[in-house]
Structure 1
Amino acid sequence: MTEHAGRLAVVVKGWPRLSETFIAQELVALEDAGLGLEIWSLRHPTDTKTHPLHDRLTAPVRYLPEYLKDEPGRVLRSWQAARRLPGFAAAWRALRRDYARDRTPNRLRRFGQACVLACEMPVDAPGLYAHFLHTPSSVARYTAILRGLPWAFSAHAKDIWTSPAWELQEKLDPKSFGAAFGATCTGFGAAHLQALADTPSRINLVYHGLDLRRFPAPPDRPLRQPGDPVGLVSVGRLVEKKGFDRLIEAFALLPPDLDWHWTHIGGGALKDKLRRQAQTRGVAERITWRGACDQPEVIAAMRAADLFVLPSRVAANGDRDGLPNVLMEAASQKLAILSTPVSAIPEFIESGTHGLLSDDAPETLAQAITDLARDPARTAGMAEAAYQRLHTEFQMQPGIATLVTRLRTMMQDTQPRAMVQAAR
């Protein structure tokens, strides 16, 4: 099939972001498959580091006004130009329906960003593709209506579980200028979205998987002895759904004769609170807080550790993990895994076979850490099983092939333009 001359507009929350390696991996793979991309970011970067993957992406990157008040001239010019677009009347009606149910400044900001995007993206852009089903997809949807273009999304975790059902349904309904298709990275999330869609086939299960060509072969791991020191490592933002507060409580319950040290990698809003908790519980001297790290640093920490721990849980607002890529990264280095059976984690880790899934009660976590530390042979066997499963079932390439096919089909679609014309 001849590739469309224009670049697909990719809408993301922020670019680049260390915590979203899976997006960078996917976009690089889409470029390698021949798709032309242009990145449109809702936010400027806040991380001081980048991953090597970010440097591989050749797509131009543009930044929309993060807050409309920051660039009033740009927003005003776009607003005036957008009102002359053929889809403005339909987009304005969509905004009014949405705002009646969500009277927030955020809703108006997304429409303003869409006006900027609709007026500044190239005239030959064949469509839009948004990562995350909440705010990036809102901007993509309004833009698509304004320009009469098809759009699609990739959904992950928080965007599925904290968005209201009415909004998800409209973003899945072609009669409401919904997406041509959606991809999501877990069977758990796919089943939820398929139940809301007019046609279940509109949603594709596309595991992120790993491009194992980017990862070194696992290190030679001599079998630990039961009494040897055990190095624990976790990678994840310091936010409620990652469960690190309960892990710190678990550390305080570990037996005195267990020689352990925990390394944490990642930033997050709870950094100061969790450090104070570690001091209070008397475990601070056994913890190293690395902060945000690039992927080579993450892999080096995994290669040096004995156990990867991710005690995910459902946050009070419903937010939860999907299938964290860091679990697969740990498996790529034959690092044993302790996690929880939240969301889609059991889709990769069958407890007792590929790792251990515990509930997140501190007492249970402490017992699981102790059991794994004192049974090195069992722990190594589960790490080997996860490594083999990663290679046979969770490589990146099959998912990318599905995405490329769906995106190419979408970019040839003329129906959205006809719908906009009919709605004028």
Structure 2
Amino acid sequence: MSSNRKIAVVLKGYPRLSETFIAQELLGLERAGHELVLIALRRPTDLKRHPIHDEIRAAVHYLPEYLHDEPRRVLRALLRSVPKAGFWRALGPFLRDLLRDRTRNRFRRFGQALVLFSEWPGDAGWLHAHFIHTPASVTAYASLMAGVPWTCSAHAKDIWTSSDWELSEKLGSARWTVTCTRTGFEHLKGLTDAKSRVHLSYHGLDLDRFPVFGGSHSSRDGADPGDPVRIVSVGRAVAKKGFDVLLRALSLLPDLNWRFDHIGAGDLTQELRALADELGLADRVRWNGALDQKDVLARYRDSDIFALACRIAADGDRDGLPNVLVEASSQRLACVSTAVSGVPELLEDGENGLVVPPEDPRALAAALERLIRDPELRQRLGAAAERRVRTEFDHQSSVRQLIGLFHDEWRKVP
């Protein structure tokens, strides 16, 4: 590959435990022979890493998360950039954006783009943003400054919490954009005349890291207090995951024996703990915090039910297709979730999982009770879910699609 084909990938943060789908894509691109350099808008906050992060060879460069934290670096970037034509190419679009979005955040993204332009990573000749909100803003400005093309992977929150005017303009300036659910795909296509440049690409799963489970899930049915049914959920403690709804559903269950494990960190953890106490669930709920991928895999195999009560949050934030549902399904674990965004694109109610309306603790409790009492149903749904994941959600297909999109564009670039 010629040197100007190096891809600078702009990320909100790196590495992040909740974004294994990004890490597996980066590793897939590297293994296909693509040279990457990673540009992160913030440093990691997770105390642990997944093993995959240690396999990715790309160098990581961190931009100032807040401009006032590194004023000399930002001033140096401004002084270096002002004499160059690229600065003036980007200034006009920035000012137009600022008139519609008069926030500190807008200055922050332009300042981060200046630092990226000033400290350009080697011979990178292409920019790719993961998330179409703030990382794509930095990428779009830097693309104008450096005179290099850019592309984008859009996911969930970034789509649904961004204004239509901004999405439309980014879709128009990016060479192409991929997104991971049909609902997001249809929404983005509706915002641009360049519909052929929007592509649906499911993340999929690295099945080598989630091999076939050679054991079997239990036949627990909630009758034995010494051997309770094990319910697990994995996700950050944030509003869109609906863990408060899940806790309320658990409190509505009849006199059955179960235990619930939550895996993940997040701002709402203490609030959820307090809710569990209020509902009288404290002795049946374990809060495990963030775990690495190997530990999460072990929990899937040791559990009976996976539950995730996805919802649309008050600010419009929502999941796309939660990767944890794909992971749990790969281990024949019976899943129950809600009809939000891309969840029904993986789970069909009664076929390979149970799907209930969001924000409905009673419906969720009924689905959980059904799964608790019926181990044969769990086994049937889990087996069907695994078949679907292993035939339709292998991440290699999404990596091949991305490689094809890059190559198609590179053939157009002199």
Does TM, scored on the shorter chain, surpass 0.5?
yes
- Stretches of structure 1 that go unaligned for 5 or more consecutive residues are 416-424
RCO higher in structure (CA 8 A, sep ≥6): 1
CA distance in 2, matches of 1:403, 1:6: 14
Whichever residue aligns with residue 91 of structure 1, its letter is A
1:43-78 CA-to-partner distances (Å, cap 9, x unmatched) read: 011001000010000000000011111111111111
Q: Which residue of 2 aligns with 1:421?
A: none
Q: Which residue of 1 aligns with 2:210?
A: 215
Q: Which residue of 2 aligns with 1:121?
A: 120
Q: Does 1:205 align with 2:200?
A: yes
Q: Which residue of 2 aligns with 1:171?
A: 170
Q: Could you say what secondary structure the match of 1:213 adopts?
A: coil
Q: Could you say what secondary structure the match of 2:26 adopts?
A: helix
Q: Which residue of 2 aligns with 1:395?
A: 394
1:51-108 CA-to-partner distances (Å, cap 9, x unmatched) read: 0010000000000011111111111111111112222222100110000010000100
- Contact 2:168-2:191 at 8 Å conserved across structures: yes
Q: Could you say what secondary structure the match of 1:40 adopts?
A: strand
Deviation of the 1:191 alpha carbon: 0.9
- Contact 2:231-2:259 at 8 Å conserved across structures: yes
Whichever residue aligns with residue 217 of structure 1, its letter is V
The alignment's C-alpha RMSD in Å is 1.3
TM-score (structure 1 length as normaliser):
0.94
Moved more, 68-77 or 281-290: 68-77
Deviation of the 1:315 alpha carbon: 0.4
Deviation of the 1:6 alpha carbon: 4.9
- Contact 2:4-2:126 at 8 Å conserved across structures: no
Deviation of the 1:3 alpha carbon: 4.3
Q: Which residue of 2 aligns with 1:193?
A: 188
- Contact 1:131-1:154 at 8 Å conserved across structures: yes
CA distance in 2, matches of 1:141, 1:413: 19
Q: Which residue of 2 aligns with 1:23?
A: 22
Q: Which residue of 2 aligns with 1:235?
A: 234
CA distance in 2, matches of 1:262, 1:343: 25
- Contact 2:332-2:383 at 8 Å conserved across structures: yes
- Of all paired residues, the percent bearing the same amino acid is 51
- Contact 1:9-1:121 at 8 Å conserved across structures: no
Q: Which residue of 2 aligns with 1:157?
A: 156
Deviation of the 1:252 alpha carbon: 1.2
Moved more, 381-390 or 83-92: 83-92
CA distance in 2, matches of 1:216, 1:195: 38
- Contact 1:249-1:362 at 8 Å conserved across structures: yes
Deviation of the 1:200 alpha carbon: 1.2
Q: Which residue of 2 aligns with 1:292?
A: 290
Q: Could you say what secondary structure the match of 1:408 adopts?
A: helix
Q: Does 1:183 align with 2:178?
A: yes
CA distance in 1, matches of 2:265, 2:214: 27
CA distance in 2, matches of 1:412, 1:329: 36
CA distance in 2, matches of 1:249, 1:157: 25
Whichever residue aligns with residue 312 of structure 1, its letter is C
CA distance in 2, matches of 1:414, 1:140: 19
CA distance in 2, matches of 1:354, 1:80: 58
Q: Could you say what secondary structure the match of 1:291 adopts?
A: coil
Q: Which residue of 1 aligns with 2:300?
A: 302
Whichever residue aligns with residue 384 of structure 2, its letter is A
Q: Could you say what secondary structure the match of 1:338 adopts?
A: strand
Q: Which residue of 2 aligns with 1:370?
A: 369
Q: Which residue of 1 aligns with 2:281?
A: 283
Deviation of the 1:414 alpha carbon: 4.3
CA distance in 2, matches of 1:4, 1:187: 35
Moved more, 317-326 or 193-202: 193-202
Q: Could you say what secondary structure the match of 2:85 adopts?
A: coil
Moved more, 289-298 or 79-88: 79-88
Q: Does 1:315 align with 2:310?
A: no
Q: Which residue of 1 aligns with 2:69?
A: 70
Whichever residue aligns with residue 259 of structure 1, its letter is N
Deviation of the 1:330 alpha carbon: 0.2
- Contact 2:213-2:301 at 8 Å conserved across structures: yes
Moved more, 30-39 or 374-383: 374-383
- Contact 1:128-1:140 at 8 Å conserved across structures: yes
- Contact 1:127-1:411 at 8 Å conserved across structures: no
- Contact 2:240-2:312 at 8 Å conserved across structures: yes
1:316-371 CA-to-partner distances (Å, cap 9, x unmatched) read: 11111100110110011111000001001100111110100012311111111111
CA distance in 2, matches of 1:194, 1:110: 25
CA distance in 2, matches of 1:151, 1:132: 13
Number of aligned residue pairs: give it.
409
Q: Could you say what secondary structure the match of 2:37 adopts?
A: strand
Q: Which residue of 1 aligns with 2:325?
A: 327
Q: Which residue of 2 aligns with 1:422?
A: none
Deviation of the 1:219 alpha carbon: 4.0
